[in-house]
């Protein structure tokens, strides 16, 4: 009897010790999970917007001096805005290298023109000679450099009237005899002629590296035997900017470039390609101006957006603008819709 009663007496203190000091595995895991669930903070995503830097002056304002245009002839033609008989002297003066060069990475920034829609680009900024910096009344950036950013220029980019270039200078009905100057409004010319290139084995790589800095390049053709290259940009504004930025500049050697507008390419394949591109650009502009459901119906595909019937009902309700019995026309409705989006 005594031996049978002894084991329960020894086990009881051990069980009591285990219950008070050492928790079981299940209880430890359960308490840990409960504490984690209560203490887990909600995850928050913080969006950091970088502020655009101001444009820096490219030249010292104290030493900067504007020079009058050189007189390259004896008679000034007010209709063509040039001196008559000045081709020879202009060819001689083009052998002098430019006084400055634009560095897009260092010089780009916001100016007063960023607050004004439709502002033109700074001609002195393209040449690397603007002394005003952020106080300039013109844009200090590359054309079409903000494509797809901040909802601006989703596909068409910086487009200006056909009678002016991206700097706001008036174009003429015909090109100059030397294919220089502002250009003509009778033809969309995106191709530049570059002459006086120092011929090397890697001439194509050198031309592509220097001219790709001024915008998206569509095609480059180099004639090594003549030291000549033809560079075609995707957008017209970039070709106008590059012409002024690379005029009288040098590549990897101490040459002085002769940058002009290219003449019409006599190749029939190139002419068909240019005509097809103009049609595609016009179709893209029309596609962006029309409603998405209407474009899908014209193209014969299924519209993936809202149901057209629901859109019609919503327009009937919202198109009254709080006036019973009033139904707004198409122009009023789309203008109000565009204002809400902007």
pLDDT tens for residues 223-260?
A: 999 999 999 999 999 999 999 999 999 998 889 999 99
CA 26 distance to own-chain centroid: 61
Residue 220 pLDDT = 94
**Can you list the residues of the chain whose pLDDT is less than 70?**
1-42, 44-51, 67-72, 80-82, 85-95, 148-156, 305-309, 311-312, 315-316, 319, 322, 325, 338, 340-342
Q: Where are the chain's structural domains?
A: 79-268, 290-341
The domain covering 79-268 belongs, at the CATH homologous superfamily level, to RRM (RNA recognition motif) domain (3.30.70.330)
Pair type for strands 217-223 and 76-77 = unpaired
Under 8 Å between Cβ of 242 and 234: no
Residue 194 phi, psi dihedral angles, 5° rounding? -120, 120
Phi, psi of 24 (to 5 degrees): -75, 170
The pLDDT of residue 71: 67
pTM of the model: 0.68
């Amino acid at each position: 009897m005594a031996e049978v009663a002894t084991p329960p007496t020894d086990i009881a203190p051990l069980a009591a010790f285990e219950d008070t000091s050492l928790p079981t595995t299940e209880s430890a895991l359960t308490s840990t999970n409960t504490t984690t669930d209560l203490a887990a903070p909600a995850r928050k995503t913080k969006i950091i917007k970088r502020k655009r830097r101001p444009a820096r002056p490219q030249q010292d304002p104290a030493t900067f001096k504007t020079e009058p245009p050189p007189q390259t002839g004896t008679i000034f033609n007010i209709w063509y805005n040039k001196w008559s008989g000045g081709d020879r002297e202009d060819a001689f003066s083009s052998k002098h290298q430019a006084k400055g060069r634009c560095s897009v990475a260092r010089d780009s920034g916001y100016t007063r023109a960023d607050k004004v829609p439709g502002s033109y680009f700074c001609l002195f900024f393209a040449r690397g000679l603007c002394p005003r910096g952020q106080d300039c009344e013109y844009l200090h950036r590359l054309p079409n450099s903000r494509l797809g950013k901040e909802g601006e220029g989703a596909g068409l980019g910086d487009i200006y009237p056909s009678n002016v270039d991206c700097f706001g200078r008036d174009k003429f009905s015909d090109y100059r005899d030397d294919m220089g100057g502002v250009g003509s409004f009778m033809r969309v010319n995106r191709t530049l002629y570059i002459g006086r290139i120092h011929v090397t084995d890697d001439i194509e790589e050198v031309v592509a590296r220097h001219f790709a800095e001024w915008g998206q390049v569509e095609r480059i053709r180099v004639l090594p035997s003549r030291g000549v290259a033809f560079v075609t940009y995707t957008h017209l504004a970039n070709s106008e900017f590059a012409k002024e930025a690379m005029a009288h500049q040098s590549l990897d050697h101490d040459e002085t470039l002769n940058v002009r507008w290219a003449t019409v390419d006599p190749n029939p394949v190139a002419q068909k390609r240019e005509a097809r591109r103009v049609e595609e650009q016009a179709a893209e502009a029309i596609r962006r101006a029309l409603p998405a459901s209407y474009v899908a119906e014209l193209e014969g595909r299924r519209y993936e957006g809202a149901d057209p019937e629901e859109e019609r009902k919503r327009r009937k309700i919202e198109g009254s603008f709080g006036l019973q019995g009033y139904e707004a026309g198409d122009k009023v409705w789309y203008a109000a819709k565009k204002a809400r989006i902007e």
